[in-house]
Amino acid sequence: MRLAKSLGLLILWAHLLSSLNAASYITGFDAPAILPFDVPDPTPVLPDVSQLAGQDGWSSPDANMVSFIGLMDYPGASQDGLGDPVPQAGSRAGAIGGLFDIPSLATTNVNHGYGDPFQGTTFEVLFRVEESVDFAGDDSFGWSFLNAGDPRLSIAFEDATGGSGDLEIAWYDDFGTRFQVAGSPGSALFYGDAYTLDVSFSASGSDTSFSATITGDTDSVTFGGTLTGVDPTSSLDTFQADYIVPSGTAADAGDNYMIFDNLSIIPEPAVPGMLLLTLSLMVARRRR
């Protein structure tokens, strides 16, 4: 009987802890249904796709189909640089880019709500950028983290060599200041290779600091900085996958795109919930 009561307490506090961390979002893009999409000349990489915006909480300001979800093929290694499995042929994943349609906006995105403070939040995603094939443009991609509708941190993968096979990594602060990331693979993020991006946020006095790591098959780069003026207790309202046409004209977009999968964004463990769980364990033990 006492054991049953103790288990009941544990379940109750576990539910409480779960509710306090309700902002967590984790997806392998297996839940949204893939709806038939008529592609005149479907590629073997994307045999069946539908629009990602409008599914599972994702949205986009773009009127055209630049975000999509489908059966993706991940050629090459069976593991990423962290030793985690890389989805193989037939796995669902999200993507953004100009493969099926030109964007209606030169700077666009597909985004998802969040809502917990910057401080203590961690973000992880597996991604790969594919190079343009049929159109000349090689566009920029990346990830941004917003508060009150404004990007407070943007991590960008920018084509700097006119399509010679690599992308530069840079990050932008709340004021739009660009910071070049140096070191391998700082200027050699290769098209077609799988990478894992990890970002964590913490307090730095009254400002927010971040640390990010991009891990490939054979190397990694870590970088970070302070987001001056960004209150660490303020809400990280939204995160988004960015798609930018460098010329500023949407019609100049290429047909390159960024695939992303195994995405998670998790808040700091709820301290009140952890304390209550500890107290429940102490009470259960004392009653034995």
Instruction: Return the residue matching tokens 């994943």.
Output: 93
Residue 134's alpha-carbon distances to 74, 112, 240, in angstroms, are 21, 30, 26
Domain boundaries, the chain: 22-268
CATH class of 22-268: mainly beta
pLDDT in tens, 166-179: 888 999 999 999 99
pLDDT of 109 above 90:
yes
pLDDT of 11 above 60:
no
Report the Cα 187 to chain-centroid distance in Å. 20
Q: What is the DSSP string of the chain?
A: -HHHHHHHHHHHHHHHHHHHTTT-EEE-S-SSPPPP---SS--SS-SSEEESTTSTTEE-S-SSS-EEEEEE---S-SB-TTSPBPP-TTEEEEEEESSSS--SSSEEEEEEE--SBSTT-EEEEEEEEEPPSSSS---EEEEEEEETTEEEEEEEEEE-SSSSSEEEEEEE-TT--EEEPPSTTTT-EETT--EEEEEEEEEETTEEEEEEEEE-SS-EEEEEEEETT--TTSB--EEEEEEE-TTS-GGG--S-EEEEEEEEEEPPP-HHHHHHHHHHHHHHHHT-
More confident residue, 41 or 106: 106
Indicate the residue type of 47. P
Average pLDDT over residues 205-216: 96
Give the confidence band of 187 by pLDDT, cuts at 50, 70, 90.
low
pLDDT in tens, 25-37: 999 887 544 443 3
